[in-house]
Structure 1
């Protein structure tokens, strides 16, 4: 009996992250585009206005597959914000996580809203650098994203950003 309860608890614990991800909602934090594949070169399916709610379906590197009102596609994870609910518990101990899953944990306070963003993107390996070759077209495309000083200052003013002077850290 105890073994089957433990097996059931273990199975539920393994499935919970998938259920949470399937129900996760996000919002566009800037105007962006819904792409047909997780690539900058993907075909644009539709524009995504700032603040648009989307349902997260899956993640692949720096891209997130979303459902936006029936339209499925890919958005850069950096263009999304993820509100979440965090429950604080006064209890601790080895079983506090399991007991909170099944609703046994005592001393809970109500949910607190917070914003959490975590992104995991695979880095480059030494082999990637050794097998790389120059791509002038990609460099030209990258340079097209550059902003001039006037538009950067206009953006900062519209966002009500103020300049801040930060001194260099002194060596220890």
Structure 2
């Protein structure tokens, strides 16, 4: 396990809620911590290389962008075709994330999950049809579970205590 020094910990705490929405977000973080933007960027890059930080990216609020029909499509695909099915779903360009999950037989035969986002029901239906076409005979069945509300998406949050304590796992 990688132990964070005080500077890395301060950078994680300063950025874990998101980067500031300013022209120079790394500079703003650096100013708040008494560092240079170059140090902040280099340390975030090193933490990403070490696996401490998985990724830095945008997490859009689909509802605020007008995408009201957000659906998790679930697919029943033979286990030996899962990787091919995942590649086909992602190749459509309309899936925001796709992953395999265990079946819960006999009630839940679905093992591939792929999220879609649409502005209206007709557009969502068209996207699901597009995915079904991409999968072709690999798909033995599917359903769509539409979101009824947005959930707050956050990862692990470090506290502000001093020292390099380890988070609880479980």
User: Under a length normalisation based on structure 2, what TM-score does the superposition of the two structures give?
Assistant: 0.23
User: Under a length normalisation based on structure 1, what TM-score does the superposition of the two structures give?
Assistant: 0.23
**Higher relative helix content:** 2
More RCO (CA 8 Å, sep 6+): 2
